[in-house]
Amino acid sequence: MSFLVTGCSGFIGYHVTQTLLERGERVIGIDNMDPYYSVLLKEARLEGLRGFSGFEFYKGDINTEGFLEGLLERERGIRGIFHLAANAGVRYSLQDPCAFIDSNVRGHIKILEFARRLERLEHLVYASSSSVYGGNTKLPFSEEDPVEQPTSIYAMSKRSDELASFTYSYVYGLPQTGLRFFTVYGPLGRPDMAYYSFAQAMTQGVPLTLYDKGKPERDFTYISDVVSAVLGVFECPPAGGGSRVLNVGNDKPESVGYLVSLLERFLGCQAQVINKQRPSVDMERTWADISMIRGLIGWAPKVSLEEGIERFATWYKRDGSKFIG
């Protein structure tokens, strides 16, 4: 019996795969090594996974005709899927919207079609996003809040995934959980995300851009907490082949300005700041109501932003500057 992780060379996929392998599981990893950010970083993550005998990697795109079908022929014993492959990046989704529809929406349906044919599948856990809450102003964001107004193509693609998953559970009884991740950060993270690009600018002595003087807030969630949520939820599939969504966030929003001050402290350098007005696709504040996941599996985040940024900065000083966004 094995697990399938899509997007295994990505930030979250890599950490989930590594933890499964450390537990002695067999993991089939898929990634198309998309060059949206440093492929060197994706290769470095893969390198870490290749050291485990239980790991098998298939380089390919989930949308390529015959790719998943070929996998289905070879791998009948998959008991769990962690579908984490996607085009991420809210602003990039406005530049290349069709790429987001291809990877995130069409790709999600391809995975659902694959999953429904697996006889031994216990649970499909897939990545959604806090961005589905769009322009909502009621805080914290709850899974019961309306999510009909996505404010970016990326958010629209993730909400579409949730709807498609609902349909597949309804029609085929496929047990699924969509996890709405809130700003995940940590070592081997994504160079396109603010905390990483800020670290790059600060250590190179280049100015960084802050919106609304650093006042916007994010519910920054540390990677090891996210991995424990992903793997914990897997053990608890919805009854009767149903579909649900759960927030995975830190339940403690902090301002982007405070994030910069922590990076200054732990990287030991000063930020030069250019202030600009926040673009409309950027949310003003995110904050996860985590009562649902807490009630279901007893999950709660353990790593504070101060500890998490210290760990990230330690890794960044050693390795992170080699990779660019």
Ligand X SMILES: NC(=O)c1ccc[n+]([C@@H]2O[C@H](COP(=O)([O-])OP(=O)(O)OC[C@H]3O[C@@H](n4cnc5c(N)ncnc54)[C@H](O)[C@@H]3O)[C@@H](O)[C@H]2O)c1
User: Closest residue to ligand X, Cβ-based?
Assistant: 10
* Helix extents (H) in 96-152: 97-100, 107-116
Tokens linked to 245: 């969504």
Does residue 33 touch ligand X according to CB under 6 A?
Answer: yes
Kindly determine how many residues on this chain lie close enough to bind ligand X according to the rule CB under 6 A: 28
Instruction: Figure out which of the listed residues 111, 125, 184, 256 binds ligand X, where binding follows CB under 6 A.
Output: 184
Instruction: Figure out which of the listed residues 18, 25, 29, 32 binds ligand X, where binding follows CB under 6 A.
Output: 32
Instruction: Figure out which of the listed residues 107, 216, 237, 308 binds ligand X, where binding follows CB under 6 A.
Output: 107
Does residue 41 touch ligand X according to CB under 6 A?
Answer: no
Number of alpha carbons in the 13 Å side-chain half-sphere of residue 32: 17
Tokens linked to 175: 């047990």
How far is 29 from 6, CA to CA, in rounded Å?
Answer: 6
Interaction residues for ligand X, span 3-22 (CB under 6 A) = 7, 9-13
Neighbouring CB atoms inside 10 A of 134's CB total 19
Place of tokens 């926040």: 278
Instruction: Figure out which of the listed residues 4, 29, 34, 105 binds ligand X, where binding follows CB under 6 A.
Output: 34
Does residue 160 touch ligand X according to CB under 6 A?
Answer: no
Does residue 197 touch ligand X according to CB under 6 A?
Answer: no
Radius of gyration of the chain (CA): 19
Find the shortest distance in angstroms from Cβ 325 to ligand X: 11
* Helix extents (H) in 220-290: 223-234, 256-267
Instruction: Figure out which of the listed residues 4, 20, 49, 62 binds ligand X, where binding follows CB under 6 A.
Output: 62
Question: 221: helix, coil or strand?
Answer: strand
Does residue 218 touch ligand X according to CB under 6 A?
Answer: no
Tokens linked to 89: 């990046």
CB 210 within 8 A of CB 256: yes
Does residue 183 touch ligand X according to CB under 6 A?
Answer: yes
Q: Which residues bind ligand X (CB under 6 A)?
A: 7, 9-13, 30-34, 42, 61-63, 84-88, 103, 107, 127, 129, 181, 183-184, 190
